[in-house]
């Protein structure tokens, strides 16, 4: 064991490396400077005002607790023991920290700065920045655990691209305060959760935010250049999201509550989640494409449900996917297409293929679709519509101007129909004949009613060809029984 005490002064090791069989303790009223390597078979402990190591420290546990600034200039290795660094001033990590099962805790009253070489690696331990002391964190270093949790307790600013990886295990990644920085952030939590409690990019717009994997992503407001959510991540967004260069979610369940908006600044917005998609808020892709489902959905992502009654805005809105099973599609959504000749709404459910241009096939192949509104500032063009034994229920008046004109032409043609010998089309007029009324010779009222019935169009003989003004010998006329008239027509022109 080594016990070095300088009640009023500083402690420095300058004579070469120290090899200590047991614990090593440095207690100083001033600074502690480690200028040569320390290799301890036990724990390493240091207290004083400032701390600076320019040489490595290897021990079964490392505790550095100083009242002023702490600077780590050389690697710390602690095996199964924890690394606990507390600074009453600033804390600078300029080299690596490595443990196996030991936890790593960095905390400071002032700013904590982690540079690019300051990566932290632990096999199964947890890593925590801040929490007990109020100092913010500026970090450029990566964090890797083999299932341990990673906690960012205070405000975080990225100094460079940063990756946080808790492996395939259940390590959670939590940002308990704000997160800013123009650099990119890559998060991999395996079966653990990713949580942003504070606002992301509120002070400085974040670069790209990529969640490679997690069980659940829960976030407040996010303002980033690009957002990409992968794996089987369930997404819960509780604050407005602005992604200036696309938003993509390809995970599990997706939930956007009412009053929450995702805005992609006229870039594409894709939600291709394999679970339930609940959008009660607003998805706004502006003049770009807002899409649900994509042609690269895995075969396991079937039976997805889409609902929520929110608003979807885009130049092109696509709903569907290549291998979607039963889709309980939009509950009471408002689909609002931006102005422009290229605008379109595409329902691509049940493996409908061949979508191109502005005329897009709509296929309801075993899927139920309910829309509250479709708003198009310009022209909404719907190409081929196929109904495969599904119920079409229009709750209010439906106006189809182009189709109405075609129907009117058919009706006009029917009024001047030409009749031929073959007759594939039948017009059945079913009438009910009144019972014959017997009248007394002097009963004028009864005789008048009888004459009116005989000249009425309901009279069985009234609709004979001569009555209709049709004298072509090819007209097929048959009176099958009293009150029934069957006319066979060959075609309508």
Q: Are residues 425 and 359 in the same domain?
A: no
Q: How far is CA 419 from CA 250, 412, 468, 493, in A?
A: 60, 15, 13, 10
Domain membership of residue 220 (yes or no) is no
Q: Are residues 444 and 338 in the same domain?
A: no
Q: Are residues 38 and 136 in the same domain?
A: yes
pLDDT(339) > 60 = no
Q: Which domain holds residue 53?
A: 1-154
Q: Are residues 319 and 433 in the same domain?
A: no
Highest mean pLDDT among 113-122, 372-381, 401-410: 113-122
What do you get for the CA distance between the two ends of the chain, in Å? 109
Domain membership of residue 100 (yes or no) is yes
Q: In whole angstroms, give the CA distance from residue 243 to residue 200.
A: 11
Q: In whole angstroms, give the CA distance from residue 9 to residue 469.
A: 125
User: Looking at 398, 430, 450, which one is the last position of a domain?
Assistant: 398
Domain membership of residue 39 (yes or no) is yes
Structurally, the chain folds into a number of domains equal to 3
Q: Are residues 485 and 391 in the same domain?
A: no
Which tops the pLDDT comparison, 411 or 67? 67
User: Looking at 154, 184, 209, which one is the last position of a domain?
Assistant: 154
Domain membership of residue 19 (yes or no) is yes
What digits encode the pLDDT tens for the residues 396-443?
555 555 555 555 565 555 555 554 444 444 444 444 445 667 888 888
3-state secondary structure the chain: CEEEEECCCCEEECCCCEEECCCEEEEECCCEEECCCEEECCEEEEEECCEEECCCEECCEEEEEECCCEEECCCEECCCCCEEEEECCCEEECCCEEECCCCEEEEECCCEEECCCCCEEECCCCEEECCCCCCCEEECCCEEECCCCEEECCCEEECCCEEEECCCCCCCEEECCCEECCCCEEEECCCCCEEECCCECCCCCEEEEEEEECCEEEECCEEEEEEEECCCCEEEECCCEEECCCEEECCCCEEECCCCEEECCCCCEEECCCCCEEECCEEECCCCEEEECCCCCCCCCCCCEEECCCEEEECEEEEECCCCCCCECCCCCEEEECCCCCCEEEEECCCCCCCECCECCEEECCCECCCCEEEECCCCCCCCEEECCCCCCCCCCCCCHHHHHHHHHHHHHHHCCCCCCCCCEEEEEECCCCCCCCCCCCCHHHHHHHHHHHHCCCCCCCCCHHHHCCCCCCCEEEEEECCEEEEEECCCC
Question: What integer is the mean pLDDT of 11-30?
Answer: 71
Domain membership of residue 164 (yes or no) is no
Q: What is the mean pLDDT of the chain?
A: 74
pLDDT of residue 436: 65
Q: Are residues 315 and 276 in the same domain?
A: yes
pLDDT band at 356 (very low <50, low <70, confident <90, very high): very low
pLDDT of residue 69: 98
pLDDT(110) > 90 = yes
pLDDT band at 451 (very low <50, low <70, confident <90, very high): confident
Q: Are residues 82 and 33 in the same domain?
A: yes
Domain membership of residue 188 (yes or no) is no
Question: What integer is the mean pLDDT of 291-296?
Answer: 51
pLDDT of residue 493: 32
Q: Are residues 455 and 319 in the same domain?
A: no
* Percentage of the chain lying above the pLDDT 90 cut: 42
| Predicted TM-score of the model (pTM) | 0.71
Question: What integer is the mean pLDDT of 83-110?
Answer: 98
Q: Are residues 342 and 439 in the same domain?
A: no
Q: Are residues 453 and 344 in the same domain?
A: no
Q: Are residues 43 and 83 in the same domain?
A: yes
| Residue appearing with tokens 């022109």 | 493
Q: Are residues 384 and 432 in the same domain?
A: no
Question: What integer is the mean pLDDT of 125-129?
Answer: 97
Domain membership of residue 201 (yes or no) is no
Domain membership of residue 165 (yes or no) is no
User: Looking at 375, 398, 421, which one is the last position of a domain?
Assistant: 398
């Amino acid at each position: 064991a080594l016990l070095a005490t300088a009640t009023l002064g500083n402690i420095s090791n300058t004579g070469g490396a120290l090899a200590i069989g047991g614990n090593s303790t440095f207690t100083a009223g001033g600074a502690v400077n480690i200028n040569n390597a320390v290799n301890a078979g036990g724990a390493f402990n240091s207290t004083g005002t400032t701390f600076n190591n320019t040489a490595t420290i290897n021990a079964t546990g490392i505790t550095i607790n100083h009242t002023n600034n702490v600077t780590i200039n050389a690697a710390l290795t602690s095996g199964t023991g924890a690394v606990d660094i507390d600074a009453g001033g600033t804390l600078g990590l300029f080299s690596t920290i490595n443990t196996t099962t030991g936890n790593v805790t960095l905390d400071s009253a002032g700013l904590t700065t982690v540079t690019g070489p300051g990566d932290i690696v632990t096999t199964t331990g947890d890593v925590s920045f801040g929490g007990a002391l109020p100092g913010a964190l500026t970090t450029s270093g990566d964090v890797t655990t083999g299932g341990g949790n990673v906690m960012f307790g205070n405000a975080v600013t990225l100094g460079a691209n940063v990756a946080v990886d808790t492996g395939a295990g259940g390590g959670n990644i939590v940002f308990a305060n704000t997160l800013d920085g123009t650099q990119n952030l890559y998060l991999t939590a395996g079966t653990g959760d990713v949580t942003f409690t504070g606002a992301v990019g509120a002070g400085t717009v974040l670069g790209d935010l990529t969640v490679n994997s997690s069980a659940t992503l829960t976030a407040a407001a996010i303002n980033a250049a690009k957002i990409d959510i992968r794996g089987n991540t369930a997404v819960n967004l509780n604050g407005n999201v602005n992604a200036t260069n696309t938003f993509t979610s390809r995970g599990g369940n997706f939930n956007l509550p009412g009053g929450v908006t995702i805005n992609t600044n006229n870039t594409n917005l894709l939600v291709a989640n394999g679970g339930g998609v609940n959008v009660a808020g607003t998805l706004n892709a502006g003049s770009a494409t807002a899409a649900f489902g994509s042609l690269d959905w895995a075969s396991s992502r079937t039976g997805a449900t889409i609902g929520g009654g929110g608003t979807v805005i885009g130049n092109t809105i696509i709903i569907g996917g290549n291998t979607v099973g039963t889709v309980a599609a939009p509950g009471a959504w408002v689909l609002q297409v931006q102005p422009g000749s290229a605008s379109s709404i595409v329902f691509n459910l049940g493996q409908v293929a061949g979508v191109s241009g502005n005329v897009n096939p709509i296929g309801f192949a075993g899927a139920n679709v309910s829309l509250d509104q479709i708003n198009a500032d310009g022209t909404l063009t719907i190409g081929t519509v196929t109904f495969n034994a599904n119920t079409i229920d229009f709750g209010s008046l439906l106006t189809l101007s182009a189709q109405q004109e075609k129907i009117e032409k058919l009706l006009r043609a029917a009024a001047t129909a030409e009749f031929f010998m073959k007759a594939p089309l039948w017009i059945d007029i079913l009438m009910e004949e009144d019972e014959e009324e017997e009248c007394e010779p002097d009963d004028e009222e009864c005789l008048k009613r009888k004459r009116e019935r005989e000249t009425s169009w309901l009279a069985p003989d009234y609709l004979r060809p001569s009555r209709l003004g049709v004298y072509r010998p090819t007209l097929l006329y048959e009176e099958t029984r009293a009150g029934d008239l069957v006319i066979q027509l060959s075609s309508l022109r």
